């Protein structure tokens, strides 16, 4: 195997491994819901937005003919759909959850209708769909900035997951390098904020370690 082909295979494998590892962090939420038979302390919106993101990138991968994108996002969509169904099963306020789901699915269906019916040129469709996926992914990576501001305000990292931060950094970095190999800016650009926010979280873990969190909470009480 040539050096270039080996590098592509290794990067592809890293993308699959790290991304599925990041998606599987939701299994702890699933276990919590099944054990407590409730959705207390579990957020629904990340499941829904990640599912929509997976389905969008799955379409982009299918149009591009890239099996790495197809496999990762197909498995991711199945996992997120599972999390959503379990959440719906144990949620008492199903109306609000179903309304959010129907709204995002409606936007997704309208988007698919636009890309597949009103944009006949394949290259133009690929570019516009890639732009949509990039913007959606960037918004997902930047959405937790409010939580990071709260961490600084409270001087506590209790709401942050160290394992998820590591998974996000490895996933974003592997996709960034993979995008460079493919010369695909729609893959490179949206993963850069993931790297940036991961390093910000590492800095917060260093600035406000868990021991300091406990001391700060004792002072507050």
For tokens 């160290």, name the residue: 162
- For residue 210, pLDDT over 70 is answered with no
The predicted structure's pLDDT at residue 3: 56
Give 153-167 pLDDT, tens digit per residue: 888 887 778 888 898
The whole-angstrom separation of Cα 80 and Cα 24 is: 9
Average pLDDT over residues 68-95: 91
Average pLDDT over residues 128-138: 92
The predicted structure's pLDDT at residue 217: 46
For tokens 């197809």, name the residue: 70
Look over the chain and give the mean of its residue pLDDT values, rounded to a whole number.
Answer: 85
The whole-angstrom separation of Cα 203 and Cα 30 is: 29
The model carries a pTM of 0.85
Average pLDDT over residues 82-99: 88
Any idea which of 77-81, 91-95, 200-204, 215-219 has the lowest mean pLDDT? 215-219
For tokens 């997120």, name the residue: 80
Burial class (CB in 10 A: 0-12, 13-18, 19+), 220: exposed
**Directed axis angle between helix 45-64 and helix 122-142, to 10°?**
150
- For residue 219, pLDDT over 50 is answered with no
The predicted structure's pLDDT at residue 218: 39
Any idea which of 52-61, 141-150, 168-177, 184-193 has the lowest mean pLDDT? 141-150
Report the number of secondary-structure helices (H) and strands (E) in the chain. Answer: 10, 0
The values of phi and psi at residue 81, to 5°, are -65, -40
The whole-angstrom separation of Cα 27 and Cα 86 is: 11
- For residue 136, pLDDT over 80 is answered with yes
Average pLDDT over residues 162-180: 91
Average pLDDT over residues 52-57: 93
- For residue 43, pLDDT over 70 is answered with yes
């Amino acid at each position: 195997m040539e050096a270039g082909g080996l590098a592509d295979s290794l990067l592809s494998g890293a993308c699959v491994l790290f991304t599925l590892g990041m998606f599987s962090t939701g299994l702890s939420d699933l276990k919590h819901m099944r054990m407590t038979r409730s959705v207390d302390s579990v957020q629904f919106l990340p499941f829904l937005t990640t599912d929509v993101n997976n389905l969008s990138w799955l379409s982009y991968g299918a149009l591009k003919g890239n099996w790495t994108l197809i496999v990762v996002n197909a498995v991711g969509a199945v996992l997120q759909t599972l999390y959503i169904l379990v959440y719906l099963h144990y949620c008492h306020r199903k109306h609000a959850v179903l309304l959010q789901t129907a709204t995002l699915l409606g936007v997704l269906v309208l988007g698919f209708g636009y890309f597949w019916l009103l944009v006949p040129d394949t290259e133009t469709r690929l570019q516009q769909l890639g732009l949509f996926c990039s913007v959606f992914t960037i918004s997902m990576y930047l959405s937790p900035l409010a939580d990071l501001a709260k961490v600084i305000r409270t001087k506590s990292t209790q709401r942050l997951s160290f394992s998820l931060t590591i998974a996000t950094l490895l996933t974003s970095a592997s996709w960034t390098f993979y995008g460079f190999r493919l010369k695909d800016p729609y893959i490179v650009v949206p993963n850069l904020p993931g790297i940036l926010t991961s390093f910000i979280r590492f800095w917060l873990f260093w600035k406000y370690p868990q021991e300091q969190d406990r001391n700060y909470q004792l002072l507050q009480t």
